[in-house]
Amino acid sequence: MRLLANKWQTPDGTILWSKHRHDMACHRDKNGELYFTDGGNEYVRTSLNLKAPMKNLCVYDNGNHKRRRNSMLWGKNYDKNMNLLPETHYILIKDLEDEHLEAILRNVTSIDPFYKQIIEDEIIYRENLILNEIPNQQ
């Protein structure tokens, strides 16, 4: 199954979310232990602590668009005026503005086919919401 979100919760409640390959998310927990996850949506590599393990919050694809839109991130590198942001800002697909979705499809030539399909599905999902063809459920 395809991994949509590489997320873990440490014992003190901190959520670690590795957003892309080689993006190691780390946290020194209140218990003094160091926790991490790595690999984004491509692989999962985590720390191991048998006395105080992390809680697995990873989300896997089941083909449901609502699950995808609530779990998948898009890395935003530019503002609306195409000025480079100082760092990548990650946004859930469901929270992207309509114009941003359309701009991604129009301007991003190297988009992963899976992400392209999710963005196309999100546009259709929103159109159907407007037409009241599907209930508005997050």
Maximum Cα–Cα distance across the chain = 52
Query: What's residue 1's pLDDT?
Result: 86
User: What are the 10-residue block averages of pLDDT along the chain, 138 residues in total?
Assistant: 96 97 95 96 93 96 96 92 92 96 93 96 93 66
- Euclidean distance between CA atoms 106 and 120, whole angstroms: 11
Share of the chain above pLDDT 90, in %: 83
Q: Is 5 exposed, middle or buried (0-12, 13-18, 19+ CB in 10 A)?
A: buried
Query: What's residue 84's pLDDT?
Result: 94
Query: What's residue 135's pLDDT?
Result: 63
Q: Is 61 exposed, middle or buried (0-12, 13-18, 19+ CB in 10 A)?
A: middle
- Euclidean distance between CA atoms 22 and 98, whole angstroms: 30
User: Structural domain boundaries of the chain?
Assistant: 3-60, 65-130
Q: For 110-125, what is each residue's pLDDT tens digit? A: 999 999 999 999 999 9
